[in-house]
Chains A and B, each alone.
Chain A
Amino acid sequence: MRVKELSEVLGVEPIQPEFEDAEILGGYTSDLLSDVMAHATSGSVLITIQAHKNTVAVAGLVGILAIILANGRPVPEDMVEAARKEGIAIFRSQETQFVLSGKLYTLLTSSQ
């Protein structure tokens, strides 16, 4: 599955659509940025409620392709701008991290 397909298959709202489309290799769900830094893998989708630009900085360093913000969190403009510069996609969903993670996990494991 590719980043471009996320919005349709997961029903998430695209917030930052300027990204380099790539194959999604995995996913990680966490709100602790050090934890993301330590355990998320390159080519992943990050599911989090941390809607601020430090999340983008971590995502950039780790090589995360897309950030999905759960629980309909408001997204500040400077976060969108930072993600645009890094070419990282941002999506938003009204659903919880639990639900989103479950859906993404199912999609990723079934498409392999």
Chain B
Amino acid sequence: MSSTIPLNTQESPPFLLDLIYRLKVKDVMTKEVITARKETPLRQIQCIMKEKWITGVPITDEEGKRIFGIISMDDIIRALDGGYIEDPAERWMSRNLIVLEEDMPLQFAISYLDKFRYGRFPVLNKDRELVGIITSRDIIIALLVEANKEVEKLEQRIVQPPSRPGEEAWLLYHVRKYDFENAGKASAGLKKLLMERNLDPKTLRRVSVAAYELEMNLVVHSDGGTLSFRIGKDRVEIEAKDKGPGIADVEKAMEEGFSTANEWIRSLGFGAGMGLPNAKRVSDEFTIESRLGEGTTVRAVIYISPSSAS
């Protein structure tokens, strides 16, 4: 029944550490606690465990609020072994209870599970009333749910990596293959940021065109990848980097009107063979590196200060 949760509180990623301190025991615990009375026979508790698929039953008063002890599956096994399964719970229940308080951070529950080697801990409120029970299963589910939410955010939204010297901002977006739902969001994010900086409309337009075309290329042609925007004092650098499939003939791909897009993509108004030429036309620097079977990296740079603009 004892289980160690592999979350070393020192070396875990900051996200997990934040999480296990931010979540409280009450956010994670099971609130509907199945309890038994002092006089309940162990046999009956065994049946409750089997029926409800649980491994520990707190022994409480009638209201289920005051806790006197707990009967675990181990106690039941011992009772079967020792031939006293018909005895009342009171006689065999564990009385030195280790309990958690509902407002404690989840981290307490994790370290208790490791320290005390119990499978579950009753949770009490400030008035010492039983309000829940927490098991490693509850914790794992909560962590998975939260981690999933975070992954979703990372995939769809901006990650804000630390800027390099000379960079005012660096945005990174993950772009999925055929994700027409979110297509254009990265470019819209970049445009918004540049509008806040009062970039002149013509340059803003050029940046938007390059960003959007490269974003759509990732959606339409790649197996997924990242789109990053580095905004410096005098330039905006757009990099579209994908995981494949690579371009067979880069020169051909740069020709206006040449496209490998399929019918349904064309019916949406994409795949007209204008993406790369458009992006190149509006860029001051433009490079493509591609290896078939490996992937493609397209870099487009647009100068933004009047002194260096083309």
| Interfacial chain B residues near A60, Cβ < 8 Å | 184, 188, 191
List A contacts of B268 (CB < 8 A).
33, 50, 52, 54
Minimum Cβ distance to chain B for residue A82 (Å) = 9
Chain B residues 165 to 197 lying within 8 A of chain A, measured CB to CB, are: 180-181, 183-185, 187-188, 191
Contact yes or no, A42 B205, CB < 8 A: yes
**Once the chains are docked, how many angstroms separate the CA of A78 from the CA of B100?**
47
Q: Is the beta-carbon distance between A35 and B184 smaller than 8 angstroms?
A: no
- B10-18, B76-84, B207-215 - interface stretch: B207-215
CB neighbours of B201 from chain A (8 A): 42, 63
User: What CA separation (Å) do A33 and B213 show in the bound complex?
Assistant: 10
Question: Is the pair A61, B191 in contact by a Cβ cutoff of 8 Å?
Answer: yes
Most chain A beta carbons < 10 A, residue from B188, B212, B270, B275: B212
Q: How many residues on A have C-beta within 8 angstroms of the other chain's C-beta atoms?
A: 20
* Size bracket, chain B contacts: 20 to 34
CB <8 Å contact, B270 and A58: no
Given contacts A32-B274, A34-B275, A38-B274, contact A54 B184 (CB under 8 A): yes
Interface residues of A in 31-89 (CB under 8 A from B): 31-35, 37-38, 42, 48, 50, 52-55, 57-58, 60-63
**Closest chain A residue to B192, Cβ basis:** A60
Minimal beta-carbon separation of A74 from chain B (angstroms):
15
How far does the alpha carbon of A37 sit from the alpha carbon of B205 in the complex, in Å?
A: 9
By a CB distance below 8 angstroms, the chain B residues around A37 are 208-209, 212-213, 278
Q: Are B208 and A35 in contact (CB under 8 A)?
A: no
**Residue pair A34, B278 in contact (C-beta under 8 Å):** yes
Contact present for A61 and B213 (CB under 8 Å):
no
Partner of A61, one of B212, B269, B281: B212
**B97 at the binding interface (Cβ < 8 Å):** no
List residues of A whose CB falls within 8 A of some B CB: 31-35, 37-38, 42, 48, 50, 52-55, 57-58, 60-63
* The 9 A-B residue pairs with the shortest CB-CB distance in the complex, in nearest-first order: A57-B184, A34-B274, A33-B269, A61-B208, A50-B269, A32-B272, A38-B278, A31-B269, A34-B272
